[in-house]
Structure 1
């Protein structure tokens, strides 16, 4: 869904990554997830971030978000709303600053730390999604739960 996402502020690109020296990680996350709207003919297109979380360390990680888009004409929705899960890789590179590489669920990112509640927020039967990626996310969460349970038994 990258073609319908709002383009982020200008910076240097490198193999799908966009780097900016003038921004902090917190500012980059705010920029990626900010709500926005634009006029398309007589229809107002509004995009809003419903949920977001960053999973990672001080210099790299994954930003998960749920975005929703509405199409409004004369105060009423004229198309079904769209909702999708995004996965932005975020990294700091010396000399380049903070950067991100945007993906979404449809691209089957090889990252599975997406919060389970995000899957529930974007039901596949209503909004679509990646039927192969979602079970991998669920497996990862089950493995983590099993690991926590095994630690509790040992202690």
Structure 2
């Protein structure tokens, strides 16, 4: 996905990205978030409203995953680029406790690199 510039302020963009939303296929809730500079890390839960939409889900299934929104200001607007964990975001500002919260779209290589990064940072 590319960049989407929609807001006049970073704060308004963040508020929208954290707000619950609904669509025909799912309800979206942010369970946890962490802002590091222009990296907005979230643990997102989708409560599915349609069966068989993602890997054989049933209606009512909860799918929980880690997402990174890269934030950027350009020509008076703020925008974001969403990168789910399964895409291997190559950024490491995600809090380690988010790993225990997410059960879908896991990326073992990225998780190991994140753990190493936090270990290196702590040392």
TM bucket, shorter chain: 0.7 to 0.9
8 Å contact kept, 1:19–1:96:
no
Return the structure number with greater helix share. 1
137, 142, 146: which one aligns with 2:114: 137
- Tell me the C-alpha RMSD between the 2 structures: 2.0
61, 65, 70: which one aligns with 2:42: 65
The structure with more radius of gyration: 1
Map of 1:79-94 to 2, 5 A cutoff? 79-93=60-74
Please give the TM-score of this superposition, normalised by the length of structure 2: 0.83
31, 37, 54: which one aligns with 2:16: 31
8 Å contact kept, 1:47–1:68:
yes
Deviations 1:29-80 (A, max 9, x none): 111121112345xxxx311000111101xxxx1110010011359xxx7343
- Where does structure 2 lack aligned partners over 5 or more consecutive residues? 51-57
4+ runs of 1 displaced by more than 4 Å? none
Greater length-normalized contact order (CA 8 Å, ≥ 6 residues apart): 2
Please give the TM-score of this superposition, normalised by the length of structure 1: 0.67
